[in-house]
């Protein structure tokens, strides 16, 4: 058995060196983060961007405007992001909840982290990944975001079991690295870059910036019979 030398901060350092700062989330306002976090469920970001552009071109990227427009119109505008029936309902549920309980988005996002997370998770269509994205990138509070890439990469690195649950993996990150909003933001964005570019379903280990540290790499070595 080899000794596991890789730790989370050294993984972070290697990713940062390779990809550079990602400066996530790509959004102009806090509300745009919320909208993007909902629209990106089961969708690729290019299509989400098209839906966001539609909303902005129609001057709708404000909570009260989404709150007021008809669901039919909303569906048509966010159609490029896919699942537009459920996503328009999710956006409506969010803005209904917001204006039933708060004066504006800032008041809601100012809640203490645990309370904010609990309220987000109580909403229809908001699961832990969406909730934590909103908390980290819109409320700018330290809640580590876990996604499918995070599970795949860190189980391949041998740090966690691939069956690990969302909260267990989130706690693992939060216990292992300093509780820092910028670090959490940047680390998640870098994990997504690695997953998109190298640690795909069929990983490209040869060029991966974590190649030297990764036990999984051995399994994907191309064997050239000589
Ligand atoms: S070396 Fe391969 S399996 Fe390991 S993190 Fe990189 S791409 Fe993923």
Instruction: Tell me how far apart the alpha carbons of residues 117 and 24 are, in angstroms, rounded to a whole number.
Output: 20
pLDDT confidence of residue 218: 67
CATH number at 30-138: 1.10.340.30
- Please list, in sequence order, all residues whose beta carbon lies within 8 angstroms of the beta carbon of residue 50, skipping any fewer than 6 positions away: 80, 81
Q: Specify the residue with its C-alpha closest to ligand 1, atom 2.
A: 205
> Would you say the CB of residue 156 lies under 6 angstroms from ligand 1?
yes
pLDDT confidence of residue 165: 97
CA of 208 to the centre of ligand 1 (A): 6
Select from 140, 147, 137 the least CA-distant residue to 24: 137
pLDDT confidence of residue 132: 98
Q: Specify the residue with its C-alpha closest to ligand 1, atom 8.
A: 199
Q: Specify the residue with its C-alpha closest to ligand 1, atom 4.
A: 214
Mean pLDDT of the chain: 93
pLDDT confidence of residue 3: 39
CA of 217 to the centre of ligand 1 (A): 6
> Would you say the CB of residue 147 lies under 6 angstroms from ligand 1?
no
Contact between 214 and 199 (Cβ < 8 Å)? no
pLDDT confidence of residue 113: 98
pTM over 0.85: yes
CA of 216 to the centre of ligand 1 (A): 6
CA of 204 to the centre of ligand 1 (A): 7
Q: Which of 198, 200, 201 to mutate to test the pocket of ligand 1 (most atoms within 8 A of CB)?
A: 198
Written as six digits, the tokens of 169 are: 């993996």
> Would you say the CB of residue 15 lies under 6 angstroms from ligand 1?
no
pLDDT confidence of residue 213: 82
pLDDT confidence of residue 217: 74
- Cis preceding-peptide flag for 169 (omega within 30 of 0): no
Written as six digits, the tokens of 99 are: 């204006």
- Residue 196: CB atoms within 10 A of its CB come to 12
Ranges under pLDDT 50 in the chain: 1-5, 224, 226
Residue 94: enclosing H or E segment and its boundaries? Answer: helix 84-101
Contact between 15 and 35 (Cβ < 8 Å)? no
pLDDT confidence of residue 4: 45
């Amino acid at each position: 058995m080899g000794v596991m030398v890789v730790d989370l901060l050294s993984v972070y350092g290697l990713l940062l060196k390779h990809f550079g700062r990602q400066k996530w989330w790509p959004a102009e306002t806090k509300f745009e983060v919320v909208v993007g976090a909902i629209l990106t469920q089961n969708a690729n970001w290019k299509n989400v961007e098209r839906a966001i552009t539609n909303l902005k071109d129609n001057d709708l990227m404000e909570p009260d405007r989404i709150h007021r427009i008809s669901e039919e119109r909303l569906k048509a505008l966010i159609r490029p992001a896919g699942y537009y029936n459920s996503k328009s309902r999710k956006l409506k549920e969010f803005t209904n909840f917001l204006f039933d309980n708060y004066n504006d988005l800032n008041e809601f996002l100012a809640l203490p982290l645990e309370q904010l997370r609990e309220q987000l998770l109580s909403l229809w269509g908001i699961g832990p990944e969406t909730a934590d994205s909103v908390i980290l990138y819109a409320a700018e509070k330290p809640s580590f975001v876990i996604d499918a890439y995070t599970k795949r990469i860190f189980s391949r690195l041998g740090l966690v079991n691939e069956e690990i649950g969302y909260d267990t993996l989130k706690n693992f990150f939060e216990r292992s690295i300093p509780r820092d909003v910028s670090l959490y933001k940047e680390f998640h964005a870098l994990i997504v870059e690695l997953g998109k570019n190298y640690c795909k379903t069929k990983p490209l280990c040869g060029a991966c910036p974590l190649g030297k540290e990764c036990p999984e790499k051995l399994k994907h070595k191309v064997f050239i019979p000589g």
